A and B are shown apart, each in its own frame.
Chain A
Amino acid sequence: QSALTQPASVSGSPGQSITISCTGTSSDVGGHNYVSWYQQHPGKAPKLMIYDVSNRPSGVSNRFSGSKSGNTASLTISGLQAEDESDYYCSSYTGNSTLYVVFGGGTKLTVL
């Protein structure tokens, strides 16, 4: 099972919006609504930002939003702030008994 495909890096200026894509297949992203997004600062544990494609856990800023179209999920961050600079990972349930959960390779967000 291949990892989900994410851009290696994205960047934006404070106040702008950016979108990170996460492309899979009909077996994972396209076939289930169990897409999650995690934020990971260097040397820290991942933090859940979005679950079930578009839901935010309690305490996560509403500047973070998720969506899905076909085999591609997206994370949008609006009103970029310096503290958003981090690595972001998508993940999806696959329903495949060889690998139930697959992650993307990660995207480094730089706030210019």
Chain B
Amino acid sequence: QVQLVESGGGVVQPGRSLRLSCAASGFTFSNSAMHWVRQAPGKGLQWVAVISYDGSNKYYADSVKGRFIISRDNSKNTLNLQMNSLRPEDTAMYYCARVGLHTSSWWSGSDIWGQGTMVTVSS
């Protein structure tokens, strides 16, 4: 069964750090580029970052650039998001998503999503 399972969310104070993980199963993780997308409570989706299949290329939204780091461990089938200097506006459900196997482009839609992990930044 193709599956993504996020973990690591929680309540954290502004300025602190948190590390999210996304465990992949049921497909060849090392062949797939991956995205992180977030959704603030009651709001729409917001793209956060993307990483290439081998981790050699990474791109970020300006709102998180310099604070968040996307990485992956293909030996463990795991995607990570290190979040530093957290702000209240980073409060959201964080989803990992697989770049669709229908395409070779990172921007062509994500066909598998995890159920998300909630991050709350509050004092």
Task: Using CB atoms and an 8 Å cutoff, list the residues of chain A in contact with chain B.
Answer: 3, 32, 34, 36, 38, 40, 44-48, 50-52, 55, 57-58, 89, 91, 93, 97-106
Contacts and interface: CB of A to CB of B under 8 A. Distances in A.
Interface residues of B, number: 26
Given A47-B113, A48-B109, A57-B111, A99 B61 contact: yes
B1 interface: no
Interface string B100-114: 101101011111011
A51 B109 contact: yes
A46 B113 CA distance: 7
B27 interface: no
B30 interface: no
Interface in B8-50: 35, 37, 44-47, 50
A27 B35 CA distance: 21
Contact of A104 (B35, B44, B105, B108): B44
Given A38-B45, A103-B45, A48 B111 contact: yes
19 contacts: A36-B108, A40-B45, A44-B115, A45-B113, A46-B45, A50-B109, A51-B111, A52-B103, A57-B109, A57-B111, A89-B44, A91-B45, A98-B62, A99-B63, A100-B50, A100-B61, A101-B107, A103-B45, A106-B45
Nearest to A4: B44
B95 interface: yes
Contacts of B100: 48, 51, 57
Contacts of A50: 109
Contacts of A55: 102
Nearest to A40: B45
Contacts of B45: 38, 40, 46, 89, 91, 103, 106
A89 B45 CA distance: 8
